[in-house]
Amino acid sequence: MKLQDRRAIVTGGGRGIGRAYVERFLDEGAQVAILDLDIERAEKTAAELADRGTVFALQTDIGDEESVDAGVAAVAERFGGLDIVVNNAAIFGDWKPRDDTFEYLKKITDVNLLGAWLVTRAAAPHLVKSPHGRVINQSSTNAYSYNYSGPTDEFPGLRSYSYAWTKYGTNGLTKYTAAQLGNWGVTVNAIAPGVIFTEALLNAVDEERANQLVASQPIKGKIQASDIAGAAAFLASDDAKFISGQVLLVDGGRFMPG
C-alpha cells in the first residue's frame, strides 16, 4: 500500500494503460479520479473497480482549457486536495498517422502535449501543498524513432510527425516543470512505453507489425499495461521522492537513449 490515502487524477483512465494505472493505484491504497472524454467508458471502468477503493469518473476534454480547469477543481474539492497527477490521455488508438494536415497536427498537439500542460497547471497549486506531490507524464518510445520508411523516388512533402513530436515535447515539458515544481517538493517524471499490447495499439498498427517490433526487443515478450502501471506506482511513491525530470523507458530495452 505505497500510496495509502493519496489523492490521484488519471486522465484517459477509462481503458488501456490508463485503466491499468487506475487499478494499480487503487490496489496501492490511493483514491482515484478518472478524467476522460469518453464518460461512458470511464464510468463503466469506475463501476467495475469500485470494490478496490474510492474511484469516480468525470467527463473532461483534456484539449479544452475550461474543461480541464473545471475538472481538476472539482476533483480537488471532492478529495480535499491532490497528491498525484498522471497525464495519460492522448490521441493514439484513433491516430491517423498519414494525416499530415496542419489542422490535424494542431488537434493532436492540443490533446497530447498542451493537454498535459493544462492539467499540470490546474493541479499545481494543489500539488505544491502536498508532501507527496507527483506528476507522471505519458511519453512514448515513438519520441526516439526518427526513421522515415516512406518512398524515396519522389518527395512526398514534409511529414508532420504528429504523435512522435508531441511525445518528444512531453519529455521537454517533464524537465521544465520538474525544474520549477521541484522547489516545492513536487517531482515530475515521464514514462515512455514501448510496444504495449492494448486495444489502442492494435488499432494503430496491425498485429503482425506489433509482433515484429516485439521481436526487436532485447528482452523478449509482450509488455502488458500492468507492467507500465508498476513503474507509475514506483514514481508516485515515497521511494522515488528524489527522482525528478527523468524519462523512464519501459520497452524491453528496444531504445536506450543516452
Supply the residues annotated as catalytic: 163
The residues facing 223 across adjacent strands are 196
What 3-state DSSP class applies to 220? coil
Asked whether the beta carbons of 212 and 145 are under 8 A apart, the reply is no
Total count of residues recorded for the chain: 258
Q: What is the DSSP letter of 196?
A: B
Q: 3-state class of 124 per DSSP?
A: helix
Residue 146 burial by Cβ neighbours in a 10 Å radius (0-12, 13-18, 19+)? exposed
Three-class DSSP category at 208 = helix
Distances 60 to 2, 6, 149 between C-alpha atoms, Å:
28, 21, 36
Could you tell me which residues come within 8 angstroms of residue 117 by beta carbon, excluding any fewer than 6 positions away?
173
Could you tell me where the DSSP H helices lie in 128-204? Answer: 162-181, 199-204
